[in-house]
Amino acid sequence: MAEDARPGVLFVDDDPRVLSAIVRSLRREPFRLETASDAREAIQRLQGGRFELVVSDQRMPGSTGIELLCQVRARWPSTRRILLSGWTSGISRHELEAADLFRLLAKPWDEGELRSAIREAVGAGCSGARDGRAS
């Protein structure tokens, strides 16, 4: 079986309703979407596949999104990282710098802003797929 060549995007959130809403809103986008409900599951998925981007919530049981994204940076430095959270006030500047985020987005999210950030993060080939530009 051939490997899916579309850019991989992994969403991590402990709320299944959030994951469902994100998948529903992005299902027609030209990237491969996968989800994980916590940091441990996210690391397992990252070890088993290719992802250009990880989008994580901040407040999750067992690990914060910043902790997860710092691990992603250390182990998969070419994988870009977005923090999508409604709880950013307790995050220090040092933690944000350590995670080297591509973008920080607030919940509730704007679908257009999220879609645009993902397209930009996974590369021009992906963004050109929907707007008629050559990839």
Span 50-95, pLDDT tens digits: 999 999 999 999 999 999 999 999 999 999 999 998 876 778 888 8
Q: Which pTM does this prediction carry?
A: 0.85
Mean pLDDT (whole number) for 11-35: 94
The total of structural domains in the chain comes to 1
- CATH number for the domain harbouring residue 78: 3.40.50.2300
Q: Is residue 135 part of a domain?
A: no
- Domain of 60 in residue numbering reads as 8-127
Residue 16 within a domain? yes
pLDDT of residue 55: 97
- Interhelix angle 39-48/65-75, rounded to 10 degrees, is 20
Specify if 74 maps to a domain.
yes
Q: Rg of the Cα trace of the chain?
A: 14
Is residue 15 one of the residues assigned to a domain? yes
Query: Does 48 fall in a domain?
Result: yes
pLDDT band at 2 (very low <50, low <70, confident <90, very high): low
Residue-level pLDDT at 3: 64
What pLDDT score was predicted for residue 98?
87
User: Does the structure show a pLDDT above 80 at 128?
Assistant: no
pLDDT for res 135: 27
Measure Cα distances from 39 to 50, 124, 131 in Å: 16, 28, 34
